Amino acid sequence: MPTYKIRGIDVDFPFEAYDSQLVYMDKVIQSLQEKCNALLESPTGTGKTLCLLCATLAWRKSLGSFTTGVSMQTGDKSEGKNEVSLSQSESSGFSTIVYASRTHSQIRQVIQELKRTSYRPKMVVLGSREQLCIHDEVKLLQGKTQTNACRLLCRRRGKHHCSHFQQVPDYLKNNPHLGEEPVDIEDLVNIGRRFGPCPYYLSKELHKVVDIVFAPYNYLIDRGYRNSLQLSWSNSILIFDEAHNLESICTDAASFDLPSWLLTACISEAESCINLSIERRDKSNDKSQNPDDFAILRALLLKLEKHIAEVPIESKELGYTKPGPYIYELLADLNITHKTASKLISIIAVASTLLEEHNQQKSTGTVCRLDRISEILDIVFRDGRTAHAKYYRVHVREVEAWAGNGSKGKVSRTLSWWCFNPGIAMEDFPMKGVRSIILTSGTLSPMESFAEELKLDFPIRLENPHVITPNQIWAGVVPVGPSGRTFNSSYRTRDSIEYRQELGNAIVNLARIVPDGLLVFFPSYYLMDQCIGCWKSVSNENSTSIWDRICKHKKPVIEPRESSSFPLSIKDYMTKLNDTSASGAVFFAVCRGKVSEGLDFADHAGRAVVITGLPFATSTDPKVRLKREYLDQQSRPQGELFKVLTGDEWYNQQASRAVNQAVGRVIRHRYDYGAIIFCDERFSHPHRQSQVSRWIQPHIKCFSRFGEVVYTLTRFFRDVGTQGPTKVSLLEAENGGNLGEIPSSEQHVDKFYMEKLLSPPTTPMVQNLSLKASSLLDTKQGCTSFLGEIVPANRSSLSSDNGKTVHRESSRDMCGKVLLRRKTPLLQECDRVDLADSCQLGEKSKDRPIPPCSAKKRRLITGEYDLKQYFGSSNEHSSSGGVHLLCKDGVASESLELIRQKGNLPADSAPSIGDETQGSAFLAQVRDKLSAAEYIDFVSYMKALKTKAMKISEVLQCISRLFSGPDRLPLLKGVQWRWVVAVEELGEEGQFSVMVG
């Protein structure tokens, strides 16, 4: 295992580290040594988690050895307390590391990465009772109901108690080394089932004495959870992995919404408590619960309901808004103040216990709604202070009642207290003496808002590049569609039928070109539904709908709005993706949806991602509108002394961050490859590109024509299939190379809860680039051209357009002549076929598969052209006028004469060489026919050809586009280009002559 000395710290790393990994570890150690915060972005697949663990634990180990051994002293079990002492002194001053991630599934992956390192700190994973409880009855409950039931059984004695809780001290005493080897939640549960101790309380006791604690975000963000942790916060290290959503998580944790239906349910529960307490007092003389307390609680809730109903709402769109401190005025009318709030919270706790005991007797597991009132009071009256209220806004709005409560169609009101300063959730940490806070993710860009929103100083920042090579990524801005119409998903154009049809035609083309899985992200569910509805409609009876044309290339799956249906849609996508009767699947999804967050579409599951627009939040949404107003108000008094985020800046950066999350679904490891396609002209603006993840920015190219996109994208997948990194053995890479965070297609299967469905195929990667015959030309002898895959798809039926002509020679000739530009006639004897939608060709073409482009071993290009009239004599010309073009490996191609013999080309096919006078006359004709800008382009193309700055095929396509008009066709005859492409496919040569003019 290699060891690297970084800032004086010896860091053991499981593999040979990339430069970007060394830079990342350097920033982590710098943050820890200098006691400052860090904001670190590193793309998925660069080994971010592994680097973070190795650097942090190496620094911690440099301070002193890790904790070993635990001895237990039994305390008062009735209170659920046990005293824990270390074999080391607790006063050693070593930092405790708290590693937080968003979900338990992500933490599971982090534990797997820890097992790959040489470091063995004493560790524990914190989880909720829902994950850890093994009690036969309690584990079936949820939320506060489960918590109350657990606490009740732990306090009891005799028959109805929790035996698992009682066994925790003895187990820890007999197993002092628990946690010195990495253990996950599943390991704790297995210990509990096998040996008896409660896994939940086992982790709670163990977390007091470990070197590193792994926990979900809410254990640090939620004040209640945070206060329950018995950690020494002074000098501790807090790490937030996958921190791209940290701002919204913080604001949500500090805010509340109280809809009418919930308030009604709380009133009903308070009334039930009155009846239950009276019944108990009458039957068993139990006076532990006072019915008068519950009657007061019910009266206060009824009065609150009345107050909310009487709030004057003049505009349904604007609602009723007041400054944050108004919440205290509203509650003061109910006699709820700092003094009475604690008493009210106590009454609610008793009521919750009473309801839980009653539900247990009735064998019902309903959730206690009153607990939400207790949480709201805790948010409002936190720490007995009111200063935080200035960061809030009170809002009352009218909405249609929730269908599930039986009041559908009726108007319901919701009282909200929204926090617009996420830093509130983080402000306690500096006051507690936390040493360093490290925020890291694959998609933090744009970074500006993080420090400004969280009100923390981040002097150390990093935007790391990817570990992939440039030939593994294609990134481009597509401002126009196949018909030249502009792509812009703003409200001005997104509802037009022309925009939706143009976008649909573009996706038909992309579905034809991209192998395997294609992800298409829309700004919103509304726009996705509207576009798909438009594509499914047919303008006339004789045409095929856009949707049908998409389906002929890839089987579609649509992201559902309901979370419960999402696992089925993922399963459906993988089934269609692996269906050999189609060339892949396309997943239509939404930015900020479940598909864009946390799922791995590695390898064949996601070869390209299409962004159809900028996912701006609804500007009229009251929460968005008030957030922008709040930020604008905060920025005014500061002047130029401090950089404060404005409302517009925040609004734009949120959209950009959602885009970065979506494009992060592809290229998930070192040997992955894929394309990122921005179908909106606004992405061509420099300020918009500057907010895209830094590692993508160098690869972004802006195209002016859709045909260029089709051509370059086709070539990308062809080339990467032939030479791409996926041909490297993943098993070999796993054993000897560094795949970083995702070591192989097998090891990252369990990264998230759906990833078993998203695991790569077992067949070699290069075989997945083969495409189906739905878009094939009619080729009787198996002589097919990949060019059939790249024609525009802006028409849905055959026509008499002369724009595309394909000529197939006999199998003995194996020479097909393919025209690359519309409205340019070829030889008169050629069969004419409209390629605008080649999926509608005859049955013969429909069932014939395209040869896998990955199977092409090498591509030899030779040609002869009449350029002497433009450039004068050149020593590049041979005596026969042929030009030998070298392949990348430097091997010269076959001579023109040899190709003439193999292709049975006539001897007079050689172009005539004109003198300088003829060349000048020809240039004069070109200047007359072309515009000034077009003529400049023409000259630049010819110079690029001479200097070899562009490939010949690129020059051919660009110049044929310039001469595509009817009055310019004769000019092509003056050029007289003939090119022969010799392609070696699976050991069998096939030659295609591409003729222009």
Q: pLDDT tens for residues 17-69? A: 888 999 999 999 999 999 999 999 998 878 889 999 999 999 999 988 888 77
Q: Name the average pLDDT for the chain.
A: 74
Contact 969, 929 (CB under 8 A): no
Residues sharing a CB contact under 8 Å with residue 157, sequence separation 6 or more, in sequence order: 78
Q: Give me the pLDDT at residue 518, please.
A: 94
Q: Which of 230-234, 399-403, 793-797 shows the highest mean pLDDT?
A: 230-234
Amino acid at 335: N
Instruction: Report whether pLDDT(415) > 60.
Output: yes
Identify the CA nearest to 65 among candidates 2, 112, 119: 119
Across 275-284, 488-497, 542-551, 708-717, the highest mean pLDDT is recorded for 708-717
Q: Return the half-sphere exposure (C-beta side, CA atoms, 13 A cut-off) of residue 647.
A: 16
* Residue 436 scores a pLDDT above 60: yes
Radius of gyration of the CA atoms of the chain, in A: 34
Residue 732 pLDDT grade (very low, low, confident, very high; cuts 50, 70, 90): very low
| Whole-angstrom distance, CA of residue 949 vs CA of residue 936 | 16
Integer Cα distance of 397 and 415 in angstroms? 7
> What are residue 220's phi and psi, to 5 degrees?
-105, -35
Distance CA 381, CA 373 (A): 12
> Roughly what angle, to the nearest 10 degrees, separates helices 338-361 and 260-284?
70
Contact residues for 515 (Cβ-Cβ < 8 A; gap 6+): 583, 584, 604, 607, 717, 721, 768, 769, 770, 771
Nearest in space to 332 (alpha carbons), one of 341, 323, 342: 341
Give dist(CA 459, CA 31) in Å, integer: 9
User: 719 with 564: CB under 8 angstroms?
Assistant: no
- 334 touches 300 (CB < 8 A): yes
Of the chain, the percentage scoring pLDDT greater than 70 comes to: 69
Find the mean pLDDT for residues 925-947: 71
Tokens representing residue 567 in the block: 């696992």
The mean pLDDT value for 161-177 works out to: 86
**977: which 2 tokens?**
């280009």
Q: How far apart are CA 945 and CA 863, in angstroms?
A: 13
Helix, strand or coil for residue 16?
coil
- pLDDT at residue number 362: 67
For residue 978, pLDDT over 80 is answered with no
Which of 434-448, 617-631, 899-913 is predicted least confidently? Answer: 899-913
Residue 441: strand pairing partners: 41
Higher pLDDT, 225 or 912: 225
pLDDT value of residue 919: 58
Q: In this structure, are residues 32 and 237 in contact, taking their beta carbons and an 8 Å threshold?
A: yes
Contact (Cβ atoms closer than 8 angstroms) between residue 553 and residue 756 = no
| H/E stretch holding 294 | helix 291-310
pLDDT-derived band at 169 (thresholds 50, 70, 90) equals confident
- Structure pTM? 0.69
Question: Residue 819 phi/psi, 5° resolution?
Answer: -90, 135
**Residue closest to 839 by CA, chosen among 543, 559, 600:** 543
CB under 8 Å to 801, separation ≥6 — which residues?
A: 822, 823, 834, 836
Q: CA-to-CA distance for 871 and 658, rounded, in angstroms?
A: 51
Q: Which one of 17-26, 167-176, 719-728 scores highest in mean pLDDT?
A: 17-26
In this prediction, residue 862 has a pLDDT band, given cuts at 50, 70 and 90, of very low
pLDDT at 705: 92
Question: Which H or E run contains 547?
Answer: helix 546-553
Q: How sure is the predictor about 439, in pLDDT bands with cuts at 50, 70 and 90?
A: very high
What pLDDT does residue 694 have? 87
Residue 295 has pLDDT above 70, yes or no: yes
**Per-residue confidence (pLDDT) for residue 180, from 0 to 100:** 85
- Helices 497-513 & 706-723, crossing angle to 10 degrees? 20
Between β-strands 584-590 and 83-86, what pairing exists: parallel, antiparallel or unpaired? unpaired
Proportion of the chain above pLDDT 90, given as a percent: 32
Residue pair 603/758 in contact by the 8 Å Cβ criterion: no
pLDDT greater than 60 at residue 832: no
Q: Which residue has the higher pLDDT, 384 or 805?
A: 384
Q: Is the pLDDT of residue 359 over 80?
A: no
Q: What is the pLDDT of residues 479-517, one digit of tens each?
A: 999 999 999 998 888 888 999 999 999 999 999 999 999
As a whole number of angstroms, the distance between CA 668 and CA 472 comes to 11
Q: Cα 636–638–640 angle (5° rounding)?
A: 100
Residues 6+ away with beta carbon under 8 Å from 517: 573, 577, 584, 585, 586, 587, 601, 604, 605, 606, 607, 608
Q: pLDDT value at position 479?
A: 94
Can you name the residues that pair with 978 across neighbouring β-strands?
864, 995
Q: Among candidates 631, 640, 690, which has minimal Cα distance to 247?
A: 631
- Please answer whether residues 400 and 412 qualify as being in contact, where contact means their C-beta atoms are separated by less than 8 angstroms: yes
Q: Is the pLDDT of residue 457 over 50?
A: yes
Cα–Cα distance between 428 and 91 in angstroms, integer? 23
Q: Which residue has the higher pLDDT, 221 or 983?
A: 221
Would you place residue 629 in the very low, low, confident or very high pLDDT band (cuts 50, 70, 90)?
very high
Cα–Cα distance, 813 to 810 (Å, whole number): 5
* Whether pLDDT at 91 is above 60: no
Residue 506: both structure tokens together: 């573009």
Q: What SS3 string covers 130-182?
A: HHHCCCCCHHHCCHHHHHHHHHHHHHCCCCCCCHHHHCHHHHHHHCCCCCCCC
For residues 176 and 323, give the distance between their C-alpha atoms in angstroms, rounded to a whole number: 54
Q: Give the CB-side neighbour count of residue 137, counting CA atoms within 13 A.
A: 18
Which pLDDT score is estimated for 542?
62
Separation between Cα atoms, residue 727 and residue 721, nearest integer Å: 8
Q: How confident is the model at residue 357 (pLDDT cuts 50, 70, 90)?
A: confident
Res 971: pLDDT:
66
Comparing 288 with 557, the larger pLDDT belongs to 557
Residue 668: pLDDT band (50, 70, 90) is confident
- Over range 790-807, report the average pLDDT: 35
Tokens (6 digits) for 63: 């301070």
Q: Where is mean pLDDT largest: 73-87, 139-153, 288-302?
A: 288-302
pLDDT score at 71: 53
Give 860's strand partners. 982
399 and 174 Cβ atoms separated by less than 8 Å? no
Residue 944: per-residue pLDDT: 65
Q: Contact at 8 Å (CB) between 714 and 476?
A: no
User: What average pLDDT does this structure show over 443-451?
Assistant: 78
pLDDT, residue 132, reads 87
- 118-122, 442-446, 867-871: lowest mean pLDDT where? 867-871
User: What local confidence, expressed as pLDDT, does residue 111 receive?
Assistant: 92
CB of 116 closer than 8 Å to CB of 50:
yes
CB 713 within 8 A of CB 699: no
Q: Write down the pLDDT at residue 975.
A: 47
pLDDT at 953: 67
pLDDT value at 201 more than 60 = yes
Query: Structure tokens of 543?
Result: 């045409």
Beta bridge partners of residue 993, listed in sequence order: 817, 980
Confidence band of 587 (pLDDT split at 50, 70, 90): very high
Among 75-89, 232-246, 452-466, which stretch is predicted with the lowest mean pLDDT? 75-89
Q: Is the pLDDT of residue 191 over 70?
A: yes
| Residue 941 to residue 964: CA distance in whole angstroms | 16
> CA–CA separation, 580 vs 582, rounded Å?
5
pLDDT score recorded for residue 283: 78
**Cα distance between the two ends of the chain:** 62
Q: Has residue 996 got a pLDDT over 50?
A: no
CA angle 225-229-230, nearest 5°?
160
Q: If you average pLDDT over residues 270-286, what whole number do you get? A: 84
Q: What is the pLDDT of residue 713?
A: 94
The pLDDT value recorded for residue 973 is: 52
Cβ atoms of 2 and 13 closer than 8 Å:
yes
Between CA 73 and CA 84 the distance in angstroms is: 6
Averaged pLDDT for residues 172-184: 87
